[in-house]
Amino acid sequence: MTPSTADHQPQMLVEEFEELARHAPESARLEFLNGKIGVKPMPDGNHGSIVMWLLKRCMQLRPELELYPEQGLKVEAYRNGRARPDGVLVPEAYFVGKGEWAEPDGVLMVVEVTSRDRDADQRDRIDKPEGYAAAGIPVYLLVDRDAASVTVYADPEGGAYRSLTTRAFGSVIELPDPVGITLETEKLKEFAD
């Protein structure tokens, strides 16, 4: 069965989405991927603790870099998508003057932590890797609480990541260049629930 042309039509123009997102209440974190509006669930305590744990690791191991939570990025092949990763790793002061939706050029890594919602599988494991790879972001780190694992997507080419490495919480995993960090993930076992 072939999807209909209507399945590939965006719900709105990206400019219309940006206007909507600008006026959305703070409790609604909107994204626009594959031409569809999505609402990111509000993070729970474990979700936030994972982001803080990773932020501290990055500060210790690469103090010249900054991990920004929730920075809006223009993603997908022609920058027609808008995503709010749980973390965006960039050189210091990279986002100064960039506005709400920044170009991904210069972004070293994006981070997503799965949430307990029905859209997590599609959003974090399919749509986001495609959008981030198409935007040329070198590394995508997925902290998957459902699977109690971390997955590193790397080497974007032709709209897809060519390298994929998954390790269980408690393992050591390498975040390849340009990130160049080794993560010991034992602490993540505490936040798996």
134-183 pLDDT, tens digit per residue, is 999 999 999 998 889 999 999 999 989 999 999 999 999 999 999 999 99
Q: Is 17 inside a domain boundary?
A: no
Ordered alpha helix ranges (H), 12-123: 14-23, 45-61, 120-122
Q: Is 28 inside a domain boundary?
A: no
In angstroms, rounded to a whole number, what is the distance separating the alpha carbons of residues 176 and 32?
A: 28
Cβ proximity of 46 and 39 under 8 Å: no
- Phi then psi for 140, rounded to 5 degrees? -120, 120
Q: Is 107 inside a domain boundary?
A: yes
Q: What is the pLDDT of residue 99?
A: 86
- Phi then psi for 136, rounded to 5 degrees? 80, 20
Q: Is 22 inside a domain boundary?
A: no
* Minimum mean pLDDT range among 18-32, 70-84, 105-119, 132-146: 18-32
Cβ proximity of 107 and 95 under 8 Å: no
Beta-ladder partners of 183: 173
- Phi then psi for 47, rounded to 5 degrees? -60, -50
Q: Which domain holds residue 179?
A: 43-191
- Strand 139-144 and strand 109-113: pairing? parallel
* Minimum mean pLDDT range among 24-28, 64-68, 112-116, 186-190: 24-28
- Residue 23 pLDDT greater than 70, yes or no: no
Q: What is the pLDDT of residue 120?
A: 62
- Residue 86 pLDDT greater than 80, yes or no: yes
Q: Is 17 helix (H, G, I), strand (E, B) or coil?
A: helix
Q: Is 21 inside a domain boundary?
A: no
- Residue 31 pLDDT greater than 60, yes or no: no
Beta-ladder partners of 152: 141, 165
pLDDT band at 70 (very low <50, low <70, confident <90, very high): confident
Question: Taking the model in full, what pTM does it have?
Answer: 0.79
Q: Structural domain tally of the chain?
A: 1
**182 versus 83: which is more confidently predicted?**
182
Q: Is 19 inside a domain boundary?
A: no
* CATH code, domain with 166: 3.90.1570.10
- Phi then psi for 79, rounded to 5 degrees? 60, 25
Q: Output the six-digit token pair for 142.
A: 């997925």
Q: How many CB atoms lie within 10 A of CB 52?
A: 14
Q: Is 105 helix (H, G, I), strand (E, B) or coil?
A: coil
Q: What is the pLDDT of residue 33?
A: 63
Exposure b/e, 60-81, CB count within 10 A at least 16 = b: eebeebbbbbebbbbbbeebbb
